[in-house]
Structure 1
């Protein structure tokens, strides 16, 4: 069975970056949820090709370094995106990358959305900015997305952010594999028929 290809787009501008940290945690959760399937992860750090993106927008030609990253996204079986929120929306650098992706490259591709911001007030950017963007691109957007505010990182392992990351990774894995949620066992499935019980009583 061939390995699954997972592209991870992270649009943080600083190093270290909470956006990259969120992308890494979402990747770990997704890979764990896909086990035992082999997963090949390709991380696209948008800040590394910022100048190439500008040149591509102006000239229509991608540098070899940028083309490698665009190909990784277009050929991926699933994509994780993480962007900082600026002015109640995704970053301009992130949008530049999306703008130069090949037409229909994300159509029918499962995509997991993540975003970071200073406070929880920015969390609505996922629903009013990111979801419509990827719906327009024809992507299959995972139902669970993750927004991480600055105060969330203190409880990333044991608190709500850690749980949300795990749920999001599981949701993307199910979307990628086409699996529905596991069926719950019916406690009444193996009940002894009433006629048999009567027979035992009369016996």
Structure 2
């Protein structure tokens, strides 16, 4: 079995590189083992051999673009998705991180809204309760998710975005609370056009979802 020492052998490395980039079934396992300039060179050869990624299944594309976003050139990823818009459903997260790294937080957050997952939200009672009553209930039961969620909705409906944000962050900043609070926090920051914080809140939501 190949180990790290054998992988560092130039002759073995060249053989693996030639095999990895020229055989579809070996491409992803090979790319998983390398990083840095070796990864960039190997990825370039994979794309040269299959520029449209026609031999890759949908799950394989997700894996490929995950490697690309973590280890590849962000500017090359951006150029590639401009030339191949049909790759965006697989590449969007890497592209969003690249945009955030250049300070384009709005562009990053917009991609999460186009392609990211939307959490299941609590069901809302059909009985209408006004905001003042909900605020009173929330003071009496500040750990109740259902009351907190209805209060947030009432505050948002009344245009009290700062109050809604305070209610949501009461939950989103605590460990162990449902991930949807972090998602909603991102939406509220976006409403305030603070896309830096919207992106960071969405990332926390993404991390919480991934940890399940």
Which TM-score bucket, shorter chain as reference? under 0.3
* TM-score of the superposed pair, with normalisation by structure 2: 0.27
Largest Rg, 1 or 2: 2
Higher relative contact order (CA 8 A, sep 6+): 1
The structure in which a higher percent of residues are strand is 1
The structure in which a higher percent of residues are helix is 2
